[in-house]
């Protein structure tokens, strides 16, 4: 167990140093086609969670600049209003809207989803970006460990409940979940709320991000024939307020070597804009290309039974039929 964990950590670190940094992005970007993101999406409706800063903000700005109606889901009203004002000023778009929702609260998530569906508006793109790395064990009003509540329960619930709005834009509809390269260091586990052993927020975050990738696969299997595309991606190592707060030592050590938020968001925007026949259902993407979901010999592969069992547990915990 210890040796396997040590190997995964070492393999992830080496892989990250060579692939996830700013210099790696600049190298990979030499192969990018500019026309892939020079696409007008005027009139399309896009929801971006965790949109007031970092990769979520960069994603919302990029989509708004291409004509989309962007619904920015933020927990903090003041920060959300400031973010919307900045995006409107930068893009000249008035079609940027604020939705207040705390993804750690099932009540909030369900109220937001219900409100959006009641507008009878089609949803073209859902970007599950909101994420959290809390190092202390904190419990939400629903009795959930906080990282799990935001990264998994909130994301799972909002996606499941917004399916009727996504159905309206099939076969163009798509869901993009922002994972993390940290998931390479974690196997899938049924211990969703880290009840076994001493709590470690960094490990819990990695576990959550591994599960997000597995959920994108499962959603593609369950709902892909409805014309909804499901994809996961990771942004590499980017300098964002979230990283600065959650991993200050890492942020300081790699200062100047981390990607910008815009570089981290590049693949999210690319996935939102591409014709779906260029994308692969349930796939994991990085720097505009399919990426491996597991590192060699890392022991992180899982079975269909494992993810099926976890999905069943999530439906029960989140009170979804």
Is 37 part of a structural domain of the chain? Answer: no
What residues contact 275, with CB distance under 8 A and at least 6 apart?
Answer: none
Is 127 part of a structural domain of the chain? Answer: yes
Residue 7 has pLDDT above 90, yes or no: no
Q: How many CA atoms lie within 13 A of 65 on its CB side?
A: 14
Residues 67/43, Cβ–Cβ less than 8 Å: yes
Is 35 part of a structural domain of the chain? Answer: no
Tens of pLDDT, residue by residue over 263-304, are 999 999 999 999 999 999 999 999 999 999 999 988 999 999
For residue 69, the SS3 value is strand
Is 305 part of a structural domain of the chain? Answer: yes
Residue range of the domain that includes 142: 2-29+42-317
Cα dihedral 215→286→229→220 (10° resolution): -30
d(CA 119, CA 251): 41
- Residue 321, pLDDT score: 78
Tens of pLDDT, residue by residue over 213-243, are 999 999 999 999 999 999 999 999 999 999 9
Q: How far is CA 32 from the centre of its chain?
A: 22
d(CA 242, CA 248): 10
Handedness of CA 121, 129, 18, 204 (dihedral sign): negative
CATH code, domain carrying 292? 3.40.50.720
- Residue 1, pLDDT score: 62
Residues 83/52, Cβ–Cβ less than 8 Å: yes
Residue 2 has pLDDT above 70, yes or no: no
Q: How many CA atoms lie within 13 A of 76 on its CB side?
A: 6
Catalytic residues: 205
For residue 139, the SS3 value is strand
Tens of pLDDT, residue by residue over 53-107, are 999 999 999 999 999 999 999 999 999 999 999 999 999 999 999 999 999 999 9
Overall number of domains in the chain: 1
Average pLDDT, the chain: 96
Predicted TM-score of the model (pTM): 0.96
């Amino acid at each position: 167990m210890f040796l396997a964990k040590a190997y995964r950590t070492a393999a992830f670190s080496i892989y990250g140093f060579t692939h996830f940094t700013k210099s790696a992005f600049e190298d990979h970007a030499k192969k990018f086609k500019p026309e892939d993101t020079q696409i007008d999406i005027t009139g399309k409706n896009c929801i971006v969670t965790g949109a007031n800063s970092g990769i979520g903000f960069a994603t919302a700005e990029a989509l708004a600049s291409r004509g989309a109606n962007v619904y920015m889901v933020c927990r903090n009203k003041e920060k959300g209003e400031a973010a919307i004002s900045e995006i409107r000023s930068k893009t000249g778009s008035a079609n940027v809207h604020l939705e207040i929702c705390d993804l750690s609260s099932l009540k909030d998530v369900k109220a937001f989803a219900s409100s959006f569906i009641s507008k009878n508006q089609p949803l073209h793109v859902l970007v599950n970006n909101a994420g959290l790395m809390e190092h202390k064990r904190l419990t939400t009003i629903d009795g959930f460990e906080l990282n799990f509540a935001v990264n998994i329960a909130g994301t799972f619930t909002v996606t499941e409940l917004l399916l009727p709005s996504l159905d309206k834009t099939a076969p163009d509809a798509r869901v993009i979940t922002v994972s993390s390269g940290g998931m390479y260091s974690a196997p899938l586990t049924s211990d969703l709320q880290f009840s076994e052993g001493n709590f470690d927020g960094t490990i819990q975050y990695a576990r959550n991000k591994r599960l997000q990738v597995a959920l994108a696969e499962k959603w593609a299997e369950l709902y892909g024939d409805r014309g909804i595309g499901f994809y996961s991606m990771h942004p590499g190592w980017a300098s964002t307020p979230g990283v600065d707060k959650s991993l200050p030592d890492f942020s300081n050590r790699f200062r100047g070597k981390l990607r910008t938020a815009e570089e981290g968001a590049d693949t999210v925007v690319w996935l939102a804009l591409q014709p779906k026949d260029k994308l692969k259902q349930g796939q994991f993407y990085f720097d505009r290309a399919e990426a491996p979901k597991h590192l060699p010999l890392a022991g992180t592969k899982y079975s269909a039974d494992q993810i099926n069992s976890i999905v069943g547990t999530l439906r029960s915990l989140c009170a979804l039929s």
